[in-house]
Each structure stands twice: as structure tokens, then as C-alpha cells.
Structure 1
């Protein structure tokens, strides 16, 4: 059973800073209006949310943050910002939030995972294959092990291609055997984060999809 690695969220953030941001800065303005898997949000709005959330962590303004209402207000505040300003804020967040998360009690670790998933939402909207499987996937799955227990999802033994031992997610439920999931890493992330599953292949026995979602 994996224990918390306080620096893992920060490593995920730095990986996205170094891989996603350079591509975003080369995109035409029209690309930022593409719709994403997040209802009501285009690429620009997802990035605005990500940067705002990380800046709240950097500046210690997390009281009352991260609710749907607070997230919507943060995005609305940035509605008229130039795209470059949105990306600059996001780059600062990627660079500076990790140490703050590491110094905390673990409750903000899920934000690091969420930022990595949102980067996948952006890649997905841009038409990239395997949007939720790339640099940082191994560490993201390690963080998902911890988050799935904190969010009290049921125990699932996950068989992934190329992995000899199953990934153990969630908590044991008295009187209930562990569920079994066979999928690729990208589909696993989609299942646990409530992303669309159209076109995926997986086998899940002993649990319902809705029981696995750590956040929508």
C-alpha cells in the first residue's frame, strides 16, 4: 500500500510546465476556444481555472476555494485577460505550487492530480491521442492510489498492460471482495475522474463506474 510522497504533486506540475506550456504558447488563438470534457468550459477556461487554483495555493488563499462556485468566479475574473497572461499565471503556478503542497498535510495533493488531469482535458480537446497517458502518468497513478483511498472508493485491483503487479486502488469494504478492472492507463484515468469513456475498452467486475469517481 503506497504512502504519501509529499513531493509527487510538485513533480507532476513541473512535468506539465515543461511539456504542455511550450505547446500552448505556439497555438493560434482559435485553439483556445475548443470545447473540453469539462461541461461549459473551453480550453482557455480550463487553463484559467488551473492557473487560478494554483495561484491560490501559492499565495495561501485556499479558504473557501475549489468549490464549483469559487472555480466559476475565478474563471469569470479572467474572462478578458489576454491568453498570454493566462499562460503566464499558469506557468507561475506550475513552478511554485509544488513546495507549498509538499509542506502541507496532504489535503492539497488532489489538486496536483487534478491539474494533471486538466492538462489531459486540454490535450484531448486539441486532438492528441492518449491525452491522459504520457509523461508523468506513472506518478499520477501513484497519486491516484492515495487519493482513491482518501475519497473512500472501493478496493479495485487494476491490471494494466506491461505491469506485472496489479495497481491497488481504494479501500477494502467488509464483506465485499475487491473489484477487478482491466484497462489501459488512459481509460483508468477517465474512469476515476469522470471523463467520457466513448471509444474505450475495459472490463470492470465487482463495482459500478459511479463508485470509482474521485471527482468530476
Structure 2
């Protein structure tokens, strides 16, 4: 399979689906992660070069090919620029069989905009792509009305858990309560408990074709 993760920020590829991307790469599938947005918050601006390097290192550790758009969309323009974002991601969407991206109800504008761009790009009458939506700790569950509803689980082995934990370690500026390597391991264990497995990541199936 040709797998694409479309993410809003460096570290979302790890937090949202790092264990699964590692598992799929290990199984021999071609896996890419696309970063189309540039952060504009003070910490993001101050550490942007470091974050790009961390994104590349994280992807390499997970067995994923890192893609950073040549003309990154600024976060401040997302509300009016979803169609520009759509056009930016389209070549990689066309390439992929299966796409992972954000849950649209996240308490983060950039996450929602990326999800919306993928939704537009994968309208079934134009192109049939399987699309799976992931959760991001400290965002998906932070809204007034948390609504993430998983209906698919990716069972992970300990080596996938370890790779995800280690990949998060590249993001020294982003570590905080709920998004440390240890917190990610606890979340994977909790999602594993949902289905009686050692560890798992949870997703919502947005589009699926047989």
C-alpha cells in the first residue's frame, strides 16, 4: 500500500499515528508524512528550524519518508485558505491509497483545517481513498464537547510502542503534560485495554472502499 499521513504540526505524526506508521513501514508498505503548515505561535516561530529537523528525524526513526511543503501555509491564513491547503496536499493525496489525518472536531484550528482539506480532496466521486482519522493528546479531548468516536484499532507490539516513544523524544520543545513519551505509552496501553491488547492506536474510519 501507499500510505500518507497529512499532519498540521511537527509531532502530530508521532502523537496521532506514530506506532501505526512504524508498523506499516515495517510490513513493507511505502509510508509518507506530509507537513503543509507553518506554525505562527511564538514558540513555534522561535523553534521552527529545530521543529523541521525533529520532524525529519522522527519520520526517519519511524521508517517514514518526511515531506515538508515548499510553500508552507501560515496558520493565520487557514480559515480563508483551505482551498490553497487542498491544492498543496493534492499531489500526495493522488499518490496515496490510504490517508491518515486529524479528527475534524479537534480543539485546534489547524487540525480542523487539515482534516477539512483532506475531506475535500477525497470526495469519492473524484477519487476513492481510504481515510482514517486519528486523535491527538491535549487537543482531541480538550473541546467543550469531545466527540472522537473510534471504530478502528491498530494493534501494536512493544517495538512499535518503543519507536513511537523514542520518536517523541526528538521534540524537546514540545514535551508537556499529556504529550511526553511516557504519556503516549499510557495512551497506547489504554487504547489496547479497549480491545484486550497490549497496546493500540485508535482511529475513526472516515472513508473505506472494498
TM-score relative to the length of structure 2 = 0.27
Q: Which has the higher Rg, Structure 1 or Structure 2?
A: 1
Greater fraction strand = 2
Greater fraction helix = 1
Higher relative contact order (CA 8 A, sep 6+): 2
